[in-house]
Structure 1
Amino acid sequence: MEQTNRPFLAMGLRLLAIACLSTMAMLVKYAVGSGIAFPEVLFWRQFLMAIVLLAWLAARRDLGRLKTRRMPIHARRAVLGTIGLFLNFGAPVLLPLAEATVLGFTTAIFAVILSAAILKEKVGPIRWFAVVLGFAGVVVIAGPSLGDASAFGVAVGLGAGLIVAIISIQIRDLTRTEDSLTIVFWFAAISTPVLALFLPFYAHSHAPWQWGLLLAMGLLGSLVQVLLTAALRFGQVSSVVVMDYSGIVWATLYGWLIWDDLPKLATILGAPLVIAAGAIIAWREHKLHLRAVPASSAAVD
Structure 2
Amino acid sequence: MALPPSPSASETVPRSEAPAHRPLFAILTRLVAALCLTAMFACVKIASTRGVHVLESVFYRQLTGLALMIPIAFAGAGIAVLKTSRPWTHAARMVVGLTGMTLNFLSFTLLPIAEATAIGFMVPIVATLLSVILLSEAVGLHRWAAIALGLVGVVIVIQPGDGHIPLNGALVALAGVGVTAWVSILIRKLGETEKSVTTMFWFSLTSLFPLGIAMLFVGQAHDLGTWGIIALISVFGAAAQLAITSSLRFAPISVVLPMDYSSLIWAALIGYLIWDRWPVQATWFGAPLIIGSGLYIVWREHRLSRPPRQSVQPT
- TM-score if structure 1 supplies the norm length? 0.78
Tell me how large the CA RMSD over aligned residues is: 3.8
Residue 289 of structure 2 is aligned to residue 273 of structure 1: yes
Residues 121 and 291 in structure 2, CA contact (< 8 A), matched pair in contact too: no
Does the C-alpha gap of structure 1 residues 206 and 273 become closer, same or farther in structure 2, counting only changes over 3 Å?
Answer: same
Residue 198 of structure 2 is aligned to residue 182 of structure 1: yes
Structure 1, 143-152 or 179-188: larger mean CA deviation:
143-152
Residues 46 and 192 in structure 1, CA contact (< 8 A), matched pair in contact too: yes
> What is the CA–CA distance in structure 2 between the aligned matches of 1:56 and 1:207, rounded to whole Å?
32
Letter in 1 for 2:156: V
1:92-107 alignment, distance < 5 Å: 92-107=108-123
2:267 pairs with 236, 251, 255, which one?
251
1:4-43 alignment, distance < 5 Å: 18-43=34-59
> What is the CA–CA distance in structure 1 between the aligned matches of 2:8 and 2:169, rounded to whole Å?
40
Residues 140 and 266 in structure 1, CA contact (< 8 A), matched pair in contact too: yes
Letter in 1 for 2:157: I
Q: Aligned residues, how many?
A: 288
Q: State the match for 1:121 in structure 2.
A: 137
What's the CA shift string for 1:221-251, capped at 9, x where partnerless?
A: 34555738x97xx779xxx999865543333
> What is the CA–CA distance in structure 2 between the aligned matches of 1:55 and 1:161, rounded to whole Å?
30
> What is the CA–CA distance in structure 1 between the aligned matches of 2:30 and 2:294, rounded to whole Å?
12
Task: Structure 1: state its 5+ residue gaps.
Answer: 296-301
Letter in 2 for 1:185: F
- Moved segments of 4+, more than 6 Å: 1-4, 11-16, 240-244
What's the CA shift string for 1:110-158, capped at 9, x where partnerless?
A: 2111112333434322222223223323322332796244343232112
> What is the CA–CA distance in structure 2 between the aligned matches of 1:154 and 1:279, rounded to whole Å?
22
Task: Structure 2: state its 5+ residue gaps.
Answer: 1-6, 11-22, 311-315
Quote the offset at 1:167 in angstroms.
0.7
1:167-178 alignment, distance < 5 Å: 167-178=183-194
Letter in 2 for 1:250: W
> What is the CA–CA distance in structure 2 between the aligned matches of 1:292 and 1:204, rounded to whole Å?
54
> What is the CA–CA distance in structure 1 between the aligned matches of 2:257 and 2:177, rounded to whole Å?
11
Residues 124 and 297 in structure 2, CA contact (< 8 A), matched pair in contact too: no
Quote the offset at 1:29 in angstroms.
0.7
What's the CA shift string for 1:52-98, capped at 9, x where partnerless?
A: 22244346682111111111100111011121122111111122223
Does the C-alpha gap of structure 1 residues 214 and 145 become closer, same or farther in structure 2, counting only changes over 3 Å?
Answer: farther
> What is the CA–CA distance in structure 2 between the aligned matches of 1:272 and 1:151, rounded to whole Å?
21
Residues 101 and 180 in structure 2, CA contact (< 8 A), matched pair in contact too: no
Does the C-alpha gap of structure 1 residues 72 and 17 become closer, same or farther in structure 2, counting only changes over 3 Å?
Answer: farther
Higher percent of residues as helix: 1
Residue identity over aligned pairs, in percent, reads 38
Residue 232 of structure 2 is aligned to residue 216 of structure 1: yes
